């Protein structure tokens, strides 16, 4: 949206936590793929809501309840606009990407799957887009089919298309791999499924903070993401679902708000999106997410993406020059994630040494154990960028990795 030059110093100034020290060193926060930090605008929006507005939503006639409901529903409209969904009926607030996928697996899955049916995923999936389907398969007799990747960590597109057959009921794929940073060609993935009448779910947890997402242009049936990876509060996420499909799906959790009438004999369901929102929602979280979306769009998603691409290039070059470093995931189209290993040093030890130097990275299987097994790795170290990451973070990372080599050398 904004055409102004990317002012990284100003952006960093918007994130108070970045000025703190860790272990006596300036913080180089390179774990944004796990959770992003929050700008002042988000912190202020949440504080304002909690200080001046809060009451429970939807049920009250009193002023605060109406104001809280207005704030919550305004946040829903903000999310609709961010995703360019056709209607707020299609925006369901959940706890996170994990819960969004579980909702579809439980509600759509139990309604639609039978023995012998197939769900196509990719080798790159996070556990959140594997395990809910395994549970649905267990309950219905359907099975998971896994589309392969090449040695660069890219989806093998032809092989994926070849897996789509008369038994395929759903394609569920990630938009961006959290472990390797690969950006998948979701528009083509969805188009291939649609041509065959197969619905699609896209796990957008790693995508929404790094590129503009237009669910109508993509043509997906479901799109899931978490607020806390988009500079918003934890404990909140969004499921976008195409209205015609959501209308057919049964609720998956029962309780307040999702009903129209209840008697001891039988209950009837509320309209969309409330049918899928049982219980009191995370109201302040939604307010914070709306502020985060305003913030991100004020910087411009294209500008953020370009900034992160330049950091990825800088980090790829400086880390590659260190003897014993191996980069994992070298896809042509990558988001700001760099997975690597250092010969002779376990990624957890590397993470600990880097932490002593004030560098926050993630070490482990990144909730993608099947992918790690495929790559023959127990774990990797992963540096990941956000809109506030800068060249100094990359320099501090590189120096800390050199230090780790000396310690273990
Ligand atoms: N999918 C992907 C690709 C992710 O990276 C993550 C978070 N690491 C999730 C799903 C799950 O997100 P959450 O834990 O916020 O539900």
Sheet hosting strand 337-342, strand order edge to edge? 325-328, 337-342, 380-384, 362-364
Contacts of 197 (CB under 8 A, 6+ apart): none
Average pLDDT of every residue of the chain: 96
Tell me: pLDDT of 402 over 80.
Answer: yes
- Ligand 1 nearest-atom number relative to CA 125: 3
Q: How confident is the model over 174-196, as pLDDT tens digits?
A: 999 999 999 999 999 999 999 99
The runs of H, that is alpha helices, within 14-108 are 40-48, 63-83, 97-103
State the distance between the two ends of the chain, measured CA to CA, in whole angstroms.
Answer: 48
59 or 371: which leads in pLDDT: 371
Residue 382, in any domain of the structure: yes
The structure tokens listed for 42 are 């988000």
Q: How confident is the model over 237-248, as pLDDT tens digits?
A: 999 999 999 999
Characterize the bridge pairing of strands 91-94 and 25-26: unpaired
Range of the domain at 20: 8-30+301-407
Residue 3, in any domain of the structure: no
What is the SS3 assignment for 126? coil
Q: Is the CB of 178 under 6 A from ligand 1?
A: yes
Q: Is the CB of 371 under 6 A from ligand 1?
A: no
Q: Judge if 196 and 127 occupy the same domain.
A: yes
Q: Is the CB of 174 under 6 A from ligand 1?
A: yes
Ligand 1 pocket, mutate which of 205, 206, 207, 225 (most atoms under 8 A from CB): 205
Q: How far apart are CA 330 and CA 223, in angstroms?
A: 26
Q: How far apart are CA 320 and CA 325, in angstroms?
A: 6
Boundary residue ending a domain (263, 280, 297): 297
Residue 350, in any domain of the structure: yes
Residue 1, in any domain of the structure: no
Q: What is the pLDDT of residue 5?
A: 80
Return phi, psi of residue 87, to 5°.
-155, 155
Please state the rounded mean pLDDT for residues 301-311.
Answer: 97
Q: Is the CB of 98 under 6 A from ligand 1?
A: yes
Strands (E), 195-333: 200-203, 222-226, 237-241, 259-262, 267-269, 325-328
The radius of gyration of the chain from alpha carbons, rounded to an integer in Å, stands at 22
Q: Judge if 278 and 309 occupy the same domain.
A: no
Please state the rounded mean pLDDT for residues 98-125.
Answer: 98
Q: Judge if 340 and 228 occupy the same domain.
A: no
Please state the rounded mean pLDDT for residues 105-113.
Answer: 97
User: What is the CATH number for 328?
Assistant: 3.90.1150.10
The structure tokens listed for 351 are 């993470």
Q: What is the pLDDT of residue 2?
A: 46
Q: How far apart are CA 173 and CA 101, in angstroms?
A: 11
Question: What residue's CA is closest to ligand 1, atom 14?
Answer: 98
CB 11 within 8 A of CB 393: no
CB 96 within 8 A of CB 226: yes
Q: Judge if 54 and 26 occupy the same domain.
A: no
Residue 79 backbone zone (phi > 0: left; psi -120 to 50: alpha; other: beta): alpha
Q: How far apart are CA 330 and CA 222, in angstroms?
A: 28
Q: How far apart are CA 313 and CA 308, in angstroms?
A: 9
Q: Judge if 165 and 67 occupy the same domain.
A: yes
Please state the rounded mean pLDDT for residues 41-66.
Answer: 95
Q: Judge if 292 and 305 occupy the same domain.
A: no
CA 127 to chain centre: 12
Q: Judge if 179 and 216 occupy the same domain.
A: yes
Residue 109, in any domain of the structure: yes
CB 201 within 8 A of CB 172: yes
- CB count, 10 Å around CB of 77? 13
Q: How confident is the model over 347-399, as pLDDT tens digits?
A: 999 999 999 999 999 999 999 999 999 999 999 999 999 999 999 999 999 99
Q: Which residue in this structure is represented by tokens 């990876």?
A: 229
Q: Is the CB of 126 under 6 A from ligand 1?
A: yes
User: What is the CATH number for 176?
Assistant: 3.40.640.10
Q: How confident is the model over 331-344, as pLDDT tens digits?
A: 999 999 999 999 99
Tell me: pLDDT of 280 over 50.
Answer: yes
Q: Judge if 68 and 211 occupy the same domain.
A: yes
CB 407 within 8 A of CB 353: yes
Domain count, the chain: 2
Please state the rounded mean pLDDT for residues 256-269.
Answer: 92
Q: Is the CB of 386 under 6 A from ligand 1?
A: no
Q: What is the pLDDT of residue 4?
A: 64
Angle between helix axes 283-299 and 40-48 (nearest 10 degrees) is 150
Question: What residue's CA is closest to ligand 1, atom 4?
Answer: 205
Residue 351, in any domain of the structure: yes
Q: How far apart are CA 281 and CA 165, in angstroms?
A: 39
Q: From the CA of 184, how far away is ligand 1's center (Å)?
A: 16
Q: What is the pLDDT of residue 408?
A: 84
Q: How far apart are CA 327 and CA 342, in angstroms?
A: 9
Q: What is the pLDDT of residue 59?
A: 79
Q: Judge if 285 and 189 occupy the same domain.
A: yes
Percent of the chain with pLDDT over 70: 99
Quickly count helices (H) and strands (E) in the chain. Answer: 15, 17
Q: Residue 409: pLDDT band by 50, 70, 90 thresholds? A: confident
The structure tokens listed for 251 are 């609720």
Q: Judge if 346 and 249 occupy the same domain.
A: no
Q: Is the CB of 270 under 6 A from ligand 1?
A: no
Instruction: Name the strand (E) or helix (H) holding 316.
Output: helix 301-320
Q: How far apart are CA 298 and CA 138, in angstroms?
A: 45
Residue 36, in any domain of the structure: no
Boundary residue ending a domain (267, 282, 297): 297
CA 153 to chain centre: 19
Q: What is the pLDDT of residue 3?
A: 52
Residue 35, in any domain of the structure: no
What is the SS3 assignment for 325? strand
Tell me: pLDDT of 400 over 90.
Answer: yes
Q: Judge if 248 and 355 occupy the same domain.
A: no
Mark whether 367 is an active-site residue: yes
Q: How far apart are CA 231 and CA 41, in angstroms?
A: 10
Which residue is catalytic, options 137, 220, 367, 387?
367
Boundary residue ending a domain (242, 277, 297): 297
Q: Judge if 242 and 377 occupy the same domain.
A: no
Q: How confident is the model over 204-241, as pLDDT tens digits?
A: 999 999 999 999 999 999 999 999 999 999 999 999 99
Ligand 1 pocket, mutate which of 153, 186, 206, 222 (most atoms under 8 A from CB): 206
């Amino acid at each position: 949206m904004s055409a102004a030059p990317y002012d990284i110093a100003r952006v960093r100034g918007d994130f108070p936590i970045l000025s703190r020290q860790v272990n006596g060193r300036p913080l180089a926060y390179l774990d944004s793929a796990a959770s992003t930090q929050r700008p002042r605008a988000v912190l202020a929006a949440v504080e304002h809501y909690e200080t001046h507005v809060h009451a429970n939503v939807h049920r009250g006639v009193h002023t605060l309840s109406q104001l809280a409901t207005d704030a919550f529903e305004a946040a829903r409209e903000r999310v609709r606009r961010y995703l360019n969904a056709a209607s707020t009926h299609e925006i369901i607030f959940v706890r996170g990407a994990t819960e969004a996928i579980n909702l579809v697996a439980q509600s759509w899955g139990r309604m639609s799957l039978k023995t012998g049916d197939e769900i196509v995923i990719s080798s790159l999936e996070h556990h959140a887009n594997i395990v809910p389907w395994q549970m649905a398969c267990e309950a219905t007799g359907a099975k998971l089919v896994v589309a392969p990747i090449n040695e660069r960590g890219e989806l093998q597109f032809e092989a994926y298309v070849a897996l789509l057959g008369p038994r395929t009921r759903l394609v569920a794929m990630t938009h961006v791999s959290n472990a390797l940073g690969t950006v998948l060609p979701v528009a083509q993935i969805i188009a291939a499924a649609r041509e065959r009448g197969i619905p699609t779910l896209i796990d957008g947890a790693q995508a929404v903070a790094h590129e503009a997402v237009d669910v109508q242009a993509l043509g997906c049936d479901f799109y899931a993401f978490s607020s806390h990876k988009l500079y918003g509060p934890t404990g909140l996420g969004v499921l976008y679902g195409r209205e015609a499909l959501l209308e057919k799906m049964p609720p998956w959790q029962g309780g307040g708000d999702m009903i129209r009438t209840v008697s001891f004999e039988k209950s009837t369901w509320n309209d969309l999106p409330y049918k899928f929102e049982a219980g009191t929602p995370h109201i302040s979280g939604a307010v914070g997410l709306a502020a985060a979306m305003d913030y991100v769009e004020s910087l411009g998603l294209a500008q953020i993406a370009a900034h992160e691409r330049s950091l990825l290039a800088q980090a790829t070059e400086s880390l590659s020059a260190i003897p014993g470093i191996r980069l994992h995931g070298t896809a042509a189209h990558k988001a700001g994630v760099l997975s690597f290993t250092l010969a002779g040093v376990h990624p957890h030890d590397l993470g600990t040494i880097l932490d002593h130097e004030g560098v926050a990275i993630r070490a482990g299987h990144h909730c993608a154990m099947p992918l790690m097994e495929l790559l023959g790795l127990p774990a990797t170290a992963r540096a990941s960028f956000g809109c506030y990451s800068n060249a100094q973070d990359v320099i501090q990372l590189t120096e800390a990795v050199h230090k780790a080599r000396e310690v273990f050398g």
